[in-house]
A and B are shown apart, each in its own frame.
Chain A
Amino acid sequence: MSRNILSQKTYWFIAFLLIILFILPGAIPRFYTYILAIIFVTSLLVMSLNIVVGHGGLFQFHHGAFYGVGAYTFALFLTKTSLPVWIAFLSGPVFAAIAGMIIGMFCVRLTRLYFGMLQISLGSLLWAITFRWYSLTGGDDGIHGIVMPPLISSLNNAYYFILILTILSIIVMYLIFKSPFGTTLQAIRDNPERCEAIGINVRRHQLVAIIIATFFAGIAGVLFVVLEGSVFPDLLFWVFSLEIFIMCLLGGWFTFAGPIIGAAVMVSLRTFVGIYTEYWTLILGVILILLIFFLPEGLWGYLMEKLGEHPKQSLKEGN
């Protein structure tokens, strides 16, 4: 009963939020439109990460690498080939997913922390290639001034394009989250050994989850290029991956919508605090520590618990 009322409220809230987001660009300065668009892209990226971290329980430590692969693939297809734009768009997520599959095949053989360590090394390999292969990627300069199709070349149009694709992606991710695949993935997170024992091929399932997650990371990478018109190796640098990992934890990794909150908070902090200080990584570290000690379920998880969404301990205490 109370669940239904709550979810009805949630629907109204989402509708309201969407209307605001569609009206906003006409009412706010360009800079804020840009920041909002960055938040959308980052939200999509962190949500894709959360498929494997929060729902899959995997130590996906270098998710940024696949974001970078998506962005670079899109940028290279646009600048180095004369193929139609839609192929360039599609190639971003597809190449990201292929990279995800190849790296994932090695990683799922290992457990937990070793999975994460191997992924950092293999992802850093991608970073090194991007950094060094000057003739193709522009090395540490990256590629700048990438020309977008006229339809999305203005900031406002790019904003709407990013908003719509982010919403569509989130809807698809939500359907997957609620599907038998998603439910089984969460069961694997909770207890992989038990999942084996009920007939689930755990590694295969995890690999499919990684492919899906890296595909959406690739979409986020493409959207980043749509907004910025440039790519640079920092996208694939491990520090950025750490940052989005923290966003995931901050928002609440056991929830579906938490990563949006995490991304919004962190991007805003970086933008507005970053102006005053050079010690962004230090702030990052402090946030992480506070998180571990005070909000192990993240912001969203904390709110949900306060609102009584999960009847967590009630049964035990009731007995």
Chain B
Amino acid sequence: MLHLENIYKSFDNFIAVNGANLTVKKGELVAVIGPNGAGKTTIFNLITGQLKPDNGRVVFKDEDINKLSAYQICRRGIARSFQIANIFPRLTVFKNVQVSVLSQEGKSKTLFYPAKKIAVEKTNSILESVGLTDKAEYPAASLAHGDQRVLEIAIALGNKPELLILDEPTAGMSPDETSATMKLIKDLSESQGLTILFCEHDMEVVFNVAQSIMVMHQGETIIQGSPEEVRNSKDVQECYLGVG
């Protein structure tokens, strides 16, 4: 479904991504791991169009999406959440998700019809599925950090993506919130068949849920394979797991 072929990206003189490869098959739950600064977030930004690669190809459903802008890539079926909560602080929680559902239904430009009568059921069912229903009418900025991170995922779900990309979805969450979120992710993957690509620092979490793991180090792809293969790989042990 998604292929990254030999991607390069540098900022000024610093090479952030130095030959990365990644394959995500339909229905898979894929994790990207690597130490701080390995280039995980940069990779995600390159996929969803926030950044453009210097070199290499990003192919989604047999289409080269290098040249598309972020909103076009989203309309092709890729939605994402961000590492740092990236929400609409002044809008209510409900509207945060509704805006994304409206966009998905192509109704963002509707002028003369009350928004409170459009996309309500879909929005509510997403809020329900992530457990934010009772906070729907609060301004998003007033949510606690963990809830903002969950809202972040809910906004992405509003786009009804085929591929969902999550950048450290549980960063900064309490243990309870983390397990609830991982349960949500597993559920989205298993019962709804959603294809998910995520990155995460918590190894236990990754090796528990991911079907395929890609390991990055200093902008390079070391390996991509099943949790078994990754655990047994010499390269990975040397440059990454061995350190800890």
Contact = CB atoms under 8 A, between A and B. Distances in A.
Interface of A: 175-176, 178-184, 186-187, 189-191, 193-202, 205, 208, 254, 310-316, 319
Contacts of A197: 48, 50, 70-71, 74, 79-80, 82, 86
B152 to A, nearest CB: 9
29 contacts: A175-B112, A179-B110, A179-B111, A180-B108, A180-B113, A183-B99, A183-B115, A187-B95, A190-B90, A190-B91, A191-B86, A193-B86, A194-B87, A195-B71, A195-B99, A196-B71, A198-B79, A199-B75, A199-B159, A205-B108, A310-B139, A311-B138, A312-B142, A313-B142, A314-B142, A315-B138, A315-B142, A315-B144, A319-B144
B107 interface: yes
B102 A316 contact: no
A287 B106 CA distance: 43
B23 interface: no
Contact of A179 (B86, B100, B104, B115): B115
Interface of B: 48-50, 69-71, 74-75, 79-80, 82, 86-91, 95-96, 98-100, 102-104, 107-116, 118-119, 135, 137-139, 141-144, 155-156, 158-159
A184 B86 contact: no
A178 B114 CA distance: 6
Given A183-B98, A198-B99, 10 more contacts: A175-B111, A179-B110, A180-B119, A183-B99, A183-B102, A184-B103, A191-B86, A195-B99, A196-B71, A315-B144
Nearest to B155: A198
B126 to A, nearest CB: 13
Contacts of B155: 194, 198
Contacts, number: 130
List the 7 shortest-distance A-B pairs measured between CB atoms, nearest first.
A199-B74, A190-B88, A196-B70, A198-B100, A187-B99, A315-B142, A180-B110
User: Max chain A CB contacts within 10 Å: which of B50, B74, B108?
Assistant: B108
Contacts of A312: 139, 141-142
B143 A200 contact: no
Contacts of A319: 144
Contact of A180 (B50, B102, B143, B159): B102
B108 A181 contact: yes
A176 B80 CA distance: 29
Nearest to A190: B88
Contacts of B113: 179-180
Nearest to B74: A199
Contacts of A202: 71
B181 to A, nearest CB: 18
A205 B107 CA distance: 12
A208 B109 CA distance: 9
Given A187-B99, A315-B142, A199 B116 contact: no
A188 to B, nearest CB: 9
B75 to A, nearest CB: 5
Q: Which of A176, A191, A198: most chain B CB closer than 10 A?
A: A198
Nearest to B110: A180
A175 B111 CA distance: 8
A258 B73 CA distance: 38
